[in-house]
Amino acid sequence: MDVEDKQTSIQSSEMSNSDQEPPSKKMKIDTNDIKGAQIETNTIRDEKNCMCEKDVGIIEYISKHNGFNAIIKQRYSDFIVNEINMEGDIVRLTSFDIPLIEKTNTNCEVINKIDREKLKEMVENKDHDTQVIIEVEDSKEERTRIHLAIRDHFPALESSTIDVDNGQQKHIKVVYPKSKVFSANRDSRWAANRPKYCKFVLYKENKDTMDTISLISKNMRVNTNLFQYAGTKDKRAKTTQEVTAFKVDAERLKNLNDIMRNMGFGNFRYVSSPLKLGQSSGNHFTLVLRNVEGSDDQIELAVSSLQSHGFINYFGMQRFGTTTVSTHSVGKAILRENYKLAVDLILRPRDGDDKSMIGCRKIWSETKDAKKMLDKLPAYHNIEKSVLYVLSKQGSNMYYNALQAIPRNLRLLYVHSYQSYIWNSMVSRRIQLYGFKLVEGDLVLNTDDNSKGESKMDIKPVVIDEDNMKDYSILDVVLPLPGYEMIYPTNNVGELYKELLAEDGIDITNMKTKHKDFSVPGTYRKMVVKPTHVNKRIIYYNDHTMSLALSDLDILNGVEEPKSIEGGKWKALKLEFSLPTSAYATMALREILKIDTSWAHQSTLNVT
C-alpha cells in the first residue's frame, strides 16, 4: 500500500502503469492511491457501483468551511513524499558522493599497472564476456589485498582465486558476475573496520518500493533480502526514503545512477545496524492540487483550519481496494469463519476488472470450476492463482486452505481492512454523539506512547474521567481497531462497537477465531491528527504537462522552481505538510476540499 498506509495493497486486477507521465489531453483521472493505477482503456468500471467514502464510514469533517473543487494527483509528479526518520529529520537526496572510507580503504596499486588498465577497460566497455587473470605470489595475504582492492575500486566486478598448473599455483580471476545472484556476504571481501550496512537514500518515481528493490537486486546480482527499509512508499508518486544494504559497497550503488531510470541513489554512509519496518516517524508531503476552483480566501480559510484543527484520521479509500468487491467484505467473512464466502468474494466478478478477467471470473460465477478458471487466468493474478490452485485439488477444508495459500501479509490485510471499516464507522458515530470535545469514558494513550500511532502496544489506555480530563485534549483521544486484546471506551461509544460488530455477526467478546492466523489482537489509533510544517502556494499555469513542484532529483539537477504565470488558464494549490505514521495525506486533502476522494467522484473531474 502506499506510504500513508505502509502496507502492501490487495488489488486482484492490477492495472499497468507506464514510466512516463500521461499525455496532455482531455481524459478522466484515476486518483486512487492503492497502486497508483492510471485508467486503462481495457478497464471496465461502473461508477454507480463503485465504493464511495460513505460506504466505508467516512462521513464527518472537523471544519465548517464549504471547501472547493480540485483534482488530486492528476500526474504522479503532483505527489512528492519524503520519509521522516526516527530523529525527526526529513530524508532528502542531496548528494551522490561516496563516503571517505570508501575512497581510502585500500590502495589500488597493489594491482599491477597492466592489470589495472585491463580492469578499467573491462568496466568501461561493460564487457561481460571477457575475464582478467591476475598472476600473484603464492601468498594468501597478497591475494586478500588484491581481492579487497578489486572490491573497493572495481565494485562492479567479482574476483575469485583459481588453481592453475594442477594446483601448483593460485591466480585471481576477475569477471562480471554471471550468476543470477552475486554474494555480497563474503567476510574476505569486506574490510573489518567498516560497519556492515550501507545506508543510502533511495529516490524513485512511479514505482513501488518492493518492485524497486527487486530491480536494484537484479541489476546488482544480489539477493533482495540484503535490503531493508522502514516502510513502503506510494507507487504513483516521487518518493524519497532511507534503505540499508548488508555488505553492499556504496560505489556499486552509486553506479546504478547511470543505468536505472527515474531513480536516484545517494547520501551514502556505513552503519552498524539495518533499518527495520516501522522505523520512521512519518512522512513529509509536497502535493499539487490542479484545476482549483476555490477563491484565494476559500483556500486560505481551508488551509488555516487544517493547520489549526487538523483532520479526522480516517483510513483512506485505498485501504478498501479499487473494485466493487471491497477488501473489508472479504475480511468480515474471514472473521465470521465463513471461508467459502471469503473465497467466493475474491473470485467473483466485479466492476473494475480488466477485459482479460471478465470472462475468467464469469467461469467461476457460472460453474464454480476452479480448474477451468485457473486455465484461463492471466499470469499476473497471483492471489487468484494461489486460491484456485488449492481449490482445483479439492480435499477437506479446501476453502480455508485456499486462503492460507495467499501470502500471510496479504491475507491479513483483508482482516485489517475490516478493522479499518469498523474504526471509520465508529469515529463517525463518536463525532455525531459528542462532537470534538473530550468526554468521560474516552480513551487516551500516555504522552510517551502517542507517537507510536497504530502499532501494537503492550499498554493499557487511560480512561478519561473528571479528575484527569484537564490533562488531555481531543488530539490525544484514541479509538480501538477491534480485537481480542482491546479495551473499549466506557461511554456510549463502547456499546456502539458491540452493536455494529453484532450486526455483522461478530461477537466483540470472542474475537479469537479457532484459526490463530486470523485472530487479531487489535490496536489503538488517534481520532484526530494535526499536520505540522504546513505551507501553501498558489500557482497559475497554462500547460497540464508542466511539473509544478520540484523533487529532490530536480533540485540536484538544478531545475528551476516552477513560476506562476500571470493570467494563466488554471489555478493550482501547492501544499506542504508533515504527518506521523499511519495517517493518510488524502484524508488531509479531503478536509481542505470537502469533496469525495473515492475513484467514483474523482474520475468525474476532467483535466480540461
Give the Cα separation of 503 and 421 in Å (integer).
14
Q: Which of 2, 5, 208, 234 is catalytic?
A: 234
Q: What is the 3-state secondary structure (H, E, C) of 18-77?
A: CCCCCCCCCCECCCCCCCCCCCCCCECCCHHHCCCHHHHCCCCCCCCCCCCCCEECCCHH
Burial readout 271-301 (b: 16 or more C-beta within 10 A, e: otherwise): eeebbeebbbbbbbbbbbbbbbebeeebbeb
How far separated are the first and last CA of the chain, in Å rounded?
Answer: 30
Classify strands 238-246 and 79-84 as parallel, antiparallel or unpaired.
Answer: parallel
Give the Cα separation of 548 and 556 in Å (integer).
16
Collect all residues with Cβ–Cβ distance below 8 Å to 164 and sequence separation of at least 6.
Answer: 170, 171
Give the Cα separation of 492 and 473 in Å (integer).
19
How many other CB atoms are there within 10 angstroms of residue 19's CB atom? 10
Give the Cα separation of 424 and 500 in Å (integer).
12
Helix (H) or strand (E) holding 135, with range, is: strand 132-135
Give the Cα separation of 242 and 198 in Å (integer).
10
Distances (CA, A) of 166 to 79, 174, 216: 62, 20, 39
Name which of 374, 354, 493, 362 is nearest 422 in CA terms: 493
Question: Has 234 been annotated as catalytic?
Answer: yes
Strand order in the sheet with 477-481: 462-463, 443-444, 477-481, 523-526
Q: Are 395 and 401 in contact (CB under 8 A)?
A: yes
Give the Cα separation of 136 and 270 in Å (integer).
31
Q: Are 480 and 456 in contact (CB under 8 A)?
A: no
Name which of 464, 585, 579, 523 is nearest 79 in CA terms: 585
**What are the catalytic residues?**
234
